Structure 1
């Protein structure tokens, strides 16, 4: 393949920059290899130096790791760019996976809404990723491979060289007189990706010379298909969501089987969960379980439960015992697995109402007298309000002089009234829930 011209590569790079808005700081992921050195040179030429930070992640896997870090520091200094290095310790399991996880953990810690991380993945990497995932039995989402641009934690990730082949980048680097380091582990075929890169793809290229180009085109088609599936899932989920972490099974069952699976996968991904086929099947079994059953699916530190006609996704938490002063809780923001707030339009001092009120956890046989209603047991009130059983032990109960005066989020009791005057506020309790997270990526 003929080398790409200086002007052509520069123009491609600048076009990618225009697709990212609101960025005040750019982070260049620099390994010291050929691809990342091309990226560094382009960034130095076309981005304001004061907005650029060069970041090197030292995996400490090779004896030369210290020399590579020094090389990267020198290359950044020569271009007048700020340099940062982070050493990481890898966890057990696959070295490739552990290195990626450690690398992205560093990246994510650096991100904010006005930050863009640039990585030097190219078209050969994309072809390799598609083939690797195909052999692992990935679906449409997996085989869409790497996106040119996506969210990364609170910021953005950009791969401006994804449309260029490695041979093009090498020709350009040689022409521009760039230096780079060679990682000997890249030729070690015990690693799956290296085996594909060194053995499989060259063999395919002998029969189909444009194999990388065709695999990249396929990845683009699959990315379009995945985008359509996500649009459909978003629309279906909007109709099925009872709250951010609660799904209505009544609405979900109105969808076809395939759309149910698509919506369940999309919903779970919002909370960082990538469901296997077996886990999706388990959720569908949960959806069809008897109305009075309460099945659950434990997924690491997250659990999906069914109660009545809803699915709930929550963090795994311990039951905590309340024994606090209400005023202190409102002042300190103490959570105990949720958020307690006081809502009032009274515009006056409320201390006389709050003084002497404590919070405790519920107890066996608790009863109260909701304002304007007959006396009820807390169990009955929780059932009436649709509070799932696993949330009840952490639910705050407000008492004064040993008598229940309020169940935040459910009722204020007659015993908290002053004659005909009821408290000029409302206490609300929102149990803890998972918050949506960014998408997991590749490489």
Structure 2
């Protein structure tokens, strides 16, 4: 592309006022080297940071990082390089991408814009790869030209430029870059598509990459419509932080699936067709069952007609630890202990310890007029069964004196207003129930 610099400058113009720092992802390959030179010629050096990620997958990777550092230095630009350890797995490409983006996300600050050098041929390759692997509208929409990454924006200003266009410009400018030998390894799916499949498509249908790019735009519009519809349905189906099972099942199957994908994605977890069918079975299960659909580190459960999404539950072992101010913070929840309560609370923390519930546990809640099983108290306060094993039980010796967020027991309440301790147990959950706010 003859006037690539003007094109690049125009693409960044709309962001110039709101970006305080431009972060350039530099691998040393053709695409990122072109991106770096374009940025260096149009953006203030004081607002630029060049970042290299060394995946340590090739013996020469340290030399490539050195090349990137020298290139940034020749342009008088600040440079940092980060080494990452790529987790072994079924897809080395995916693991490398995850490691790379994790570094970017940790590095970026509010007001930053990360520039990456993906181009038109990358977009076609991505769409074909996802189509072969199996995906929906969101996946077929390819790479967006911009999105949020952590606290900052990720932007791909060259997404409409072909690789040939970048190469022609680089040669005209007499630029130097690195050719990674792994890019020729056909054992990688993307390389096979790039070197074997896409050239055949290009030979038969010249310019297909640009038409696919247009199609990606149409699919992004369709995905936005799906999102808008899901938000409308969410307002009708949501109950508290969960979804009303009856209202969810009243939706048509496509709308139900669309809403579930949207709801789970907002929690950071994608959901496929197999999981959606499992959710339908979960909702239809008998009332006395407690089925679970596992979604990575999250779990979908049904409780009293509500579908809830929460972190995977593990039981806290309280181990008779002392109850102290300001309380306890665990992965499963937070125990708040606040002195000087505005209403009657636990009269003292002296000698009070925390333990897990036992089968047959009973206590005497203030104002109850007798003893009551903990099981009944949990039921009355709508505590889901999977949270009960981790609920802290406050005891002095063998006597239960309080159940945080539920009750204070007879003889252990403070004598006057403002003299006791308010206890509150707040389970960690994305959606399950409101915070417990009773004594």
Matched residue, 2:216:
219
Match for residue 193 of structure 1 among 190, 197, 209: 190
Instruction: Say if 1:276 and 1:231 are closer, same or farther in 2 by CA, change over 3 A.
Output: same
Q: Distance in 2 between matches of 1:237 and 1:424?
A: 42
Residue 61 of structure 1 corresponds to 57
State which drifts further: 423-432 or 252-261.
423-432
Q: Distance in 2 between matches of 1:177 and 1:16?
A: 29
Q: Secondary structure at the match of 2:307?
A: strand
Q: How does 1:53-202 map to 2 (within 5 A)?
A: 53-90=49-86, 91-202=88-199
Aligned to 1:357: 352
Give the deviation of 1:139 after TM superposition: 0.7
Matches within 5 A, 1:11-22: 11-15=9-13, 17-18=15-16, 21=18
Equivalence for 1:376: 372
Counterpart of 1:48 in structure 2 is 44
Query: In 2, Cα distance between the equivalents of 1:343 and 1:238?
Result: 35
Superposition deviation, residue 363 in structure 1: 2.0
Select which of 264, 269, 278 maps to 1:282. 278
The answer to whether the 8 A contact 2:346-2:408 is kept is no
Q: 1:202-351 residue pairs with structure 2 within 5 A?
A: 202-244=199-241, 246-322=242-318, 323-328=320-325, 330=326, 333-335=328-330, 337-342=332-337
Contact kept, 8 Å, 2:89 with 2:95, in 1: the verdict is: yes
- Kept in 2: contact 1:133–1:143 (CA 8 A): yes
The superposition leaves residues 358-402 of structure 1 with CA deviations (integer Å, 9 ceiling, x where unpaired) of 332222222223333343211001112221111111111223464
- Are 1:416 and 2:412 an aligned pair? yes
Query: Aligned residues, how many?
Result: 428
For structure 1, which segment, 360-369 or 132-141, has the greater mean C-alpha deviation from structure 2 after superposition? Answer: 360-369
Q: Deviations over 1:49-82 (max 9, x none)?
A: 2332211112233333232211111111111112
CA distance in 1 between counterparts of 2:31 and 2:210 reads 18
Could you tell me how far 1:6 is from its partner in structure 2?
A: 4.4
The alignment yields a C-alpha RMSD, in angstroms, of 2.8
Distance 1:401 1:178, change over 3 A: same
With over 3 angstroms needed to count, the CA separation of the structure-2 counterparts of 1:346 and 1:129, relative to structure 1, is: same
Indicate conservation of the 8 Å contact 1:315/1:434, yes or no. yes
Q: Which sections of structure 2, spanning at least 5 residues, go unmatched? A: 432-439
TM-score normalised per structure 2:
0.88
8 Å contact kept, 2:346–2:412: no
Q: Structure 1 residue 321: deviation in Å? A: 2.2
Indicate if the aligned counterparts of 1:301 and 1:315 stay in contact, CA closer than 8 A: yes
